[in-house]
Structure 1
Amino acid sequence: MTASPRRWLVLALAPLVAVTMSVFAPASPASAEPGDENSTTKSGSAAPDEGKQDALLEDVLESTGRRYLAAKNAIQKSSKTQLDLAVQVKQAESRRDLLLPQVGKIAGQQYRNGGLSTASFLLDSPGAGGFLDRAISLEELNALNDNKLRELNDAIDEVSRTKARLDQEVKQQKNNVLLMQKQKEAADKALALVGGPLTGGFVDATSKVAAPAPRDKNGDFGPQSCNVDDPTTGGCITARTLHMYQEVKKAGFNRFVGCHRDGGPFEHPKGRACDWSLEKSGFRKHHNNDTLKYGNDLMAFLVRNADRLGILYVIWNKQIWFPTRGWSNYHGPSTHEDHVHVSML
């Protein structure tokens, strides 16, 4: 009979020690679960693909638009998810707060009955039957506290996990807001460079990069004299105009072009302008996809390389472009629907 009470004492005290240590040990924060990285920001964080020389601007604009709408939809979905998670956080916190006093109360009872007083509680029982009853009572108390502790830990973990998911949603939403802004800026910039509706998107998304024209010692495009032979008319042009002419040719625009022209206003008599025709000879208004796209692509090359070449302005298809103001309607003597005009600094 001596072994039996000793065995019950060990069984009763073991969970009590474990539970008491659990109650008073410092709680470690629950680690956040990894967030879902397969979202819009992963595929939308990159800028539109502008590496393809054969891609049209309309393709880039479509891709930009789709990514913009995808990010917008993700933001709307994320806002709803955040509301749902906020409710779940409140519910988990309420459950945790409800369990805290219950666990504290049971832990206090065990603390008061713990240690040597527990042995006294068991050994002072009258007879074997009383000892067994008290051992069972203590074991049930331990089991009850174990369950409450488990519920409390689960509640605390749920609060941590839900808050981590909410933080991830907030971060994801911020990324999508930035992505929307980036896509909008990319579309605005792409359209601004080629005159918005001027080309209808029927223009190469990228242009070749021109070699930069020489600048003066101050880094500026200073005035130049018309003292270089014009390869198009036999007149004279500036060295900067010749450089622009050569770069446009290297970029693949090899149809008819005329630069110097005697008389008249503006830059032609000064050797600082060229008219790039859409035809192999002479001038004719654009009348098919080939001539329209040739004019669009040539205009885009000049505008995109304006700072590198020292371009003053470009006129094409009833529109004029200045570096300082972008595109606006042009109402000069020529509609410039049959050629692209470029004037140099």
Structure 2
Amino acid sequence: MAVAAPGDRWRALLRVVLAVGLAVILAMALPVTGGHAKPKPSPKQLRKELSELQKNSDKLIAEYYSSRHELQKVEKAEKAARERLRVAQADFERESAQLRLMAAEQYISGGHGAIPAMFGEIDLNGLALVEALTAEQGARLRGFTEVRDRHQRARTEAKTRADELSDRVEELADQKKAAEKVIDKMKDRIDRLYPTPGVRRPDGSWVPQLPSGPDNITPRMRLVKTLIAERFGVPYGIGCYRAIQDGGEHPLGRACDFMLSRGGAMPSAAEARRGDEISAWAIKNARRLGIMYIIYKQRIWHVGTGAWRGMSNRGGTTANHYDHPHISVY
């Protein structure tokens, strides 16, 4: 048997080392899941999640309504407490004026004791005035004491009710936010129950579709329009197909404008927020729904860029897309 030369042995050993090294590198590169992406949730899973969210939502909404009812009772009690304080304040000021007048008359008529010394700044709650006037005005002093105590109780009650009202308002706001979060999650699950129409290529892009139906838009655009209309309302209307060949997607049935005002007017603050919410939702769901780009507030967001980019001034509220988000699909 021939003996391998030293050089051959080293080359064979090097090949083994390289093979082992390559195997280790490949093993490290593969994900723990065996290289398979996490599967998308099935409609059955989505419906199960939606059912759980529905139960949680019903519970939160029930608590919210109960708290609203309690808040109404607290508001009524707080209003009554403020009214009692108003009456008690008026009584207190009237009785205080009467006591000052009595003290002044006592001093002018030559009264003695603590009254002359206190005349410059009379302490209505102090015992000195009470002792000085008890002999002649006991009944009025007792009445003033009752008014003073009633006034103090009214002030304390009003503050307590105001604090309780503040706490209830904060608690209700927290409950409302919690319920809104659950409702938003439910909306997301409902969105995902609708499969996006059309064929998606391996690189993530979408095969174009032909428009159909009386609205002359593609099935993919129709789904986006439907989801936005159901989720956000869009009270000023949605405009999609138009025959004018302007180089955009409207004549192709692949674009819709979600109006926030009428007649080219700037939208209200609330409607502008609606536009922000529609745009944010479209960005979040762009890849799943085949959305190509969004234009809003003289800016454009294109799938794959991840950021808004400013656009040139086209000369008007509508032309600059301040009164509507524009959404185009593939």
The TM-score with structure 2 as length reference comes to: 0.38
Higher relative contact order (CA 8 A, sep 6+): 1
The TM-score with structure 1 as length reference comes to: 0.36
